[in-house]
Chains A and B, each alone.
Chain A
Amino acid sequence: MRARLLGTLGPLLALIAACLFFATRSDRFLTADNLSIVLQQVMVVGVIAIGQTLVILTAGVDLSCGSVMALGGIVMTKLAVEHQLPVPLAIAAGVAATTSFGAINGLLVTRLRLPPFIVTLGTLNIAFAITQLYSNAQTITDVPAGLTTLGNAFQVGGSSVVYGALLMLALYAVAAFALSQTAAGRHVYAVGNNPEGARLTGIATQRVLLGVYMLAGVCYGLAALLSVARTGVGDPNAGQAENLEAITAVVVGGTSLFGGRGLVLSSLVGALIVGVFRNGLTLMGVSSVYQMLVTGVLVILAVATDQFSRRVAERGEK
């Protein structure tokens, strides 16, 4: 049990250690203002990471997450700006678009039994192409205020908190509850841990998988809304970094790529770690090349720790 705890708490300790380190290197790091900025910078990938966690818990992976998010953003903004659709409808359409992509991913994985890596590699390119074509590769500007409200902030004790960040935290709470306190959530873990065994116990594994990919799509749609709110535009080139960064957040947070293990809240920690390093290194004046180096090392450390804690747990508790 202790080794399991290490696997879960490890990333949190790493995050705290990183914060303390940067606090010593720059007196601007630990200010409420700066931390609020980091939270804003992390909120888009944070929400994408919720969907990605669900997929990775089933021993899958979704490489298309960022590109699908970009598509959702373009659909929302184009409908609102060029077709004057009311904002709630535009948002719904955007989320519907991303959820459909989630359904496509899920159906290809469950019905055709194609490996998720390959499927989402394909949908990554398809989503990117559709986004470019639908937007004519142009950024959509003059976006109505309704779409950007989540980018607005309110004051809390001297610093501003963006509404979008609150939405992200709320989504994490919902996801954490569903995964740990409902049968459907436990089934996600069972399917990832032993898919055949889960089927034999009577769990509708195909439905669970399809549901997971579609829910991930919903997350990408909500992330699109947050992205539009943050930047104020519909950008067809958004999300390129998030395709891999969301997976990084989940892995660095401690969730196992082999499925069946991990907590969704860890992905928030993972996303924060990446954001904190990016912010901290810039405050220190260090080149962004070192960010890549640090991220790479963190990923390997995270996977190694996961393997180590599992092996110790298996040996120690017999």
Chain B
Amino acid sequence: MLLRVALIVALFVVPSLAYGQPVIGLITKTSTNPFFVKMREGAEAAAKSNGARLISGSGKNDGDNVGQVTALENMIAAGAKVILITPNDSKAIVPSISKARAKGILVIALDSPTDPVDASDALFATDNYRAGTLIGRYARAALGAKPARIATIDLFPGHPVGAQRHNGFLKGFGLRAPEASVNTLGTAPEVVCMADSYGDQTRGQTAMENCLQKNPDINVVYTINEPSAAGAYKALKAKGKEKSVVLVSVDGGCQGVRDVASGAIAATAQQYPVKMAELGVAAGLAFIKTGKKPSGYTDTGVSLIAKTKVSGVESKDVATGLELCFGRK
């Protein structure tokens, strides 16, 4: 009889002990982009080593807000006390986040801010403006004394990250540039062509080809990310210009770092999704234990990866870049 009671108690108590684990949710933009894969892996490791359970979800593709809203609702139902999210649509996700926060759930934005920024409790992200500035400074130094003829291969109109990197690049290059809070792309007389790549390789190639048609004497190319840089490089190579153009990018994915090693990309600003995840999990655990909420913006760091050092700009070498990169090594 006692044994039976003990068994029944055990059957109920043991699982609830497991369910006593704090639950942290992570919602990424997509589940396949290596950047977010790395972020999720980092979050899982951080959660596990701290006795917490991580549940993850994502949008279907870049820009999918509805998928993220659904994931958010499911995580609230699953008892998540903390939700980390990289929003696909910085404005559209806000109502769902407000609902979660009203229930006492801590919501931290990773990688991309919400609009307004204080719609989430805190933001742990790359300073995309600083990332742009770093590669802008590198490009200026690498170009030397030549007059600059710049092409920018951007994301698409209206995206904050696209604007920050672009404008930061202009600032770092020494041109007059809009502030970090501005969502529109700045221009300058030295910028002879601006075209959109939507972040993808094929469209990056098309954008670069058309810019080269417009201005065959382009000598500096800023690209929004490494896939579009790869496409731009192909276009430059087809015209025999790959050696005479300084091509810079942002992200620090392993393929991108390999492109730096091969000389296709001159320098790239590397960002750290694992750092974002770790900081997010740590802040979440602190909230669960003590109720203390994080606030404001925390810069998760960005480093310049370049093969050739240039004076006046600090950079890390390719080997370091490869150690810290995300994606297939």
Least distance between A248 CB and chain B CB atoms (Å):
15
CB nearest to B157 among chain A residues:
A289
* Contact A241 B32, CB 8 Å, known A138-B255, A282-B193: no
Q: Would B200 and A240 count as touching, CB distance under 8 A? A: yes
Q: Would B202 and A282 count as touching, CB distance under 8 A? A: no
Instruction: Tell me whether B205 is interfacial, beta carbon within 8 Å.
Output: yes
The contact of A231 among B37, B61, B213, B234, by CB within 8 Å, is B234
Q: Would B209 and A37 count as touching, CB distance under 8 A? A: yes
Instruction: Tell me whether B156 is interfacial, beta carbon within 8 Å.
Output: yes
Least distance between B75 CB and chain A CB atoms (Å):
22
Query: How would residues 224 to 259 of chain A score, 1 for a CB under 8 Å from any chain B CB and 0 otherwise?
Result: 000100111101111011000000000000000000
Q: Would A230 and B202 count as touching, CB distance under 8 A? A: yes
Q: Which residues on the B side are within 8 Å of A282 (C-beta)?
A: 193, 195, 207, 210-211, 213-214
Instruction: Tell me whether B160 is interfacial, beta carbon within 8 Å.
Output: no
Classify chain A: how many residues form its interface, as a range: 35 or more
The prevalent SS among residues of B at the interface is helix
Instruction: Tell me whether A139 is interfacial, beta carbon within 8 Å.
Output: yes
Chain B: how many interface residues by the 8 Å CB criterion?
Answer: 32
Q: Which residues on the B side are within 8 Å of A34 (C-beta)?
A: 213
The contact of B328 among A138, A237, A289, by CB within 8 Å, is A138
Q: Would B214 and A283 count as touching, CB distance under 8 A? A: yes
Q: Would B156 and A231 count as touching, CB distance under 8 A? A: no
Q: Would A288 and B195 count as touching, CB distance under 8 A? A: yes
A164-186 contacts to B (CB < 8 Å): none
Q: Which residues on the B side are within 8 Å of A201 (C-beta)?
A: none
Assembled-state Cα–Cα distance A287/B155 (Å): 12
Q: Would B157 and A139 count as touching, CB distance under 8 A? A: no
Q: Would A41 and B201 count as touching, CB distance under 8 A? A: no
18 extra interface residue pairs, beta carbon distance < 8 Å, beyond A33-B213, A235-B202, A282-B195: A28-B214, A34-B213, A37-B209, A125-B60, A133-B32, A136-B328, A137-B32, A138-B328, A231-B205, A231-B234, A241-B203, A278-B206, A282-B193, A282-B207, A282-B211, A283-B210, A287-B157, A288-B196
A residues lining the B interface (CB < 8 Å): 26, 28, 33-34, 37, 40-41, 44, 125, 128, 132-133, 136-139, 141, 227, 230-233, 235-238, 240-241, 278-279, 282-283, 285, 287-289
B residues lining the A interface (CB < 8 Å): 32-34, 37, 60-61, 156-157, 193-196, 198, 200-203, 205-207, 209-211, 213-214, 227, 230-231, 234, 255, 327-328
Jot down 26 A-B pairs with beta carbons below 8 A, ordered by A: A40-B209, A41-B210, A125-B60, A128-B61, A133-B32, A136-B328, A137-B32, A137-B33, A138-B255, A139-B230, A227-B202, A235-B200, A235-B201, A237-B227, A240-B200, A241-B198, A241-B200, A241-B203, A278-B210, A279-B210, A282-B193, A282-B195, A282-B211, A282-B214, A285-B214, A287-B194
